[in-house]
Structure 1
Amino acid sequence: MSALVETQLAFANYIRDPAKYPAPDAIASERLEVYRELFFNNVRGFLDNAFPVLHGLYPADAWLALQQHFFANYACQSPYFLHIAEQFVSFLQDYPLTAQDPPFLTELAHYEWAELYVGTKQALQPIAPLAPDQVANSPLALSELALLAAYQYPVQRISKNFQPDKPGELQCFLIYRDHQDEVIFVSLNQATLLLLNQLSEKPGQTLSELTQTLAPGLAPLTPAQLEAAALPLLQELAAKGAIVPAVK
């Protein structure tokens, strides 16, 4: 390893965790502190803004400790600041909760990230909307500006005044960006979640094909009953941009 590479590695290690790694001799301590504050404060500020509810639930020192732990120990895979929130959610998947962390930490972080993700994602190509009478027979797809999520905690209600300590009834959501670029959260029952998840995983199916596939798991409802129940919902979601024609 060359002297330059050794210095760069020592610099990076110190920037991440100055309590664990010594400062490189080749760089003045005053300059190291400037770089350390610049890097960490940029990441810290983005996490503060991306997770306002979560941030507000923590004592200041505990939130700072969590941010420092992420900064020091997680190897981010993207250099873009906009991806930091996604990397933080990924980091929390394997993060061992401490006494200061709420049990819903991972789920609430994902719920807050979902809004940022859907709100900032760039569409690859414009897609003409489906008319209501096209929904019944057209090959369908979930918009690329939409995602599905399910949580064990009622994340949509969590606040300083409501912090559940154990899981409850499953909370299912469709999160999408409408034609006015507003992020919309739609609460789903489990049957609707199954329908939209099937569409997400296997786009290009018609409503009839979807209901035929799902009917065995939703007995005693017949495919015709499922289709009659699902059509108004899919028409409404198509009008708002969450359901789109499948790309051939």
Structure 2
Amino acid sequence: MSQLAQTQRDFAKAIRNPDKPPSAVATLAPERLQVYQELFFNNVRGFIDNAFPVLHSLYPAKAWLALQTAFFRDYACHSPYFLHIAEQFVSFLQQYTLTAEDPPFLAELAHYEWAELYVGTVKATQTVEPLAADDVGTAALALSELVLLSAYQFPVQQISKDFQPSTPAELQCFLIYRDLADEVIFVSLNQATLLLLHNIQQQPGQSLSEHIQQLAPMLPQLSPTQLTAAALPLMQQWAAAGAIVRAPDIASGSDSEQIS
């Protein structure tokens, strides 16, 4: 490593951890170094505050600042884009060891809040054909790239200052998509519908009946006919909103790696 590269690395370490700056930057005037420390941290802090308003509201100011500081100091972000800071914060929380100050639903609530930002800003990489309601039963199906499927052990959609569950409850499943008017929509799902949508996402290009046949052994209490009758209106509704699309000729999943 060149001397310049080492100096740059030491400077970055001093910005990320003001309490333990490398000795190589000891000659810098503290007030000058502090300008960079505050500038970088406050930018990151601002994005986290804006992306996670509910989570932020649950924390005392000192504890929230400590959590943001730990992220800024300890987590190695790999994207240069400000828009990805929230996603990196969610990844950090999925590896983070909870303290007495942290709620047990910390990582799940953060993911739920991030999902709206992700779906609202993700860019499609493929042009897809609209899918008419009459074609949903026979067409090769796929999920739009502007879709996220999520499941949580805590009722994240209900959490607030007045409701903070301490233990997991019934699994909460969601379809989160951006509709044709660019609105982000959250739809609560039962586990059977989540299984169907997940199957479509993982195996695009198959018809609804093919997906039903694959899922039928997992849901023995319902016949394929019953499953189809329940699923078809939902698939038609989501096709009209742009969440279900006609699969491209070369079937492929979304190129975007999603946190689950």
Bucket of the pairwise TM-score, normalised by the shorter protein? over 0.9
Partner deviation per Cα, 1:76-104 (whole Å, 9 max, x = no partner): 01010000011011111110000000000
Match in the other structure for 1:16: 16
The DSSP-based 3-state class of the residue aligned with 2:62 is helix
Contact 2:154 2:171 in 1 (8 A): yes
Match in the other structure for 1:156: 157
Q: Equivalents in 2 of 1:60, 1:205: separation in Å?
A: 51
Letter aligned with residue 238 of structure 1? A
Q: 1:26 to 1:2 in 2, by over 3 A?
A: farther
Contact 2:154 2:168 in 1 (8 A): yes
Letter aligned with residue 155 of structure 1? V
Superposition CA RMSD, Å: 1.1
- Report the TM-score, using the length of structure 2 for normalisation: 0.93
The DSSP-based 3-state class of the residue aligned with 1:159 is coil
Give unpaired runs (5+ residues) of structure 1.
Answer: none
Q: Equivalents in 2 of 1:170, 1:25: separation in Å?
A: 52
Q: Equivalents in 2 of 1:16, 1:25: separation in Å?
A: 15
Alignment of 1:94-173 (within 5 A): 94-173=95-174
* 1:224 positional shift: 1.9
Contact 2:15 2:33 in 1 (8 A): yes
- Report the TM-score, using the length of structure 1 for normalisation: 0.97
Q: Number of paired residues?
A: 248
The DSSP-based 3-state class of the residue aligned with 2:124 is coil
- 4+ residue runs over 6 A deviation: none
Contact 1:7 1:26 in 2 (8 A): no
Q: Equivalents in 1 of 2:29, 2:86: separation in Å?
A: 32
Alignment of 1:1-248 (within 5 A): 1-22=1-22, 24-248=25-249
* 1:190 positional shift: 0.4
The DSSP-based 3-state class of the residue aligned with 1:141 is strand
Q: Equivalents in 1 of 2:209, 2:10: separation in Å?
A: 61
The DSSP-based 3-state class of the residue aligned with 1:15 is helix
Contact 1:44 1:67 in 2 (8 A): yes
Q: Equivalents in 2 of 1:110, 1:104: separation in Å?
A: 10
Contact 2:128 2:247 in 1 (8 A): no
* 1:4 positional shift: 1.9
- Please say which of residues 140-149 and 122-131 is displaced more in the overlay: 122-131
Contact 1:111 1:155 in 2 (8 A): yes
Contact 2:177 2:186 in 1 (8 A): yes
Q: Equivalents in 1 of 2:224, 2:51: separation in Å?
A: 42
Letter aligned with residue 187 of structure 1? S
Partner deviation per Cα, 1:69-128 (whole Å, 9 max, x = no partner): 000000001010000011011111110000000000000000000000000111223423
Partner deviation per Cα, 1:11-65 (whole Å, 9 max, x = no partner): 1111001112346035332221111111000000000000000001100010000
Letter aligned with residue 210 of structure 1? H
Letter aligned with residue 206 of structure 2? Q
Letter aligned with residue 137 of structure 1? T
Letter aligned with residue 33 of structure 2? L
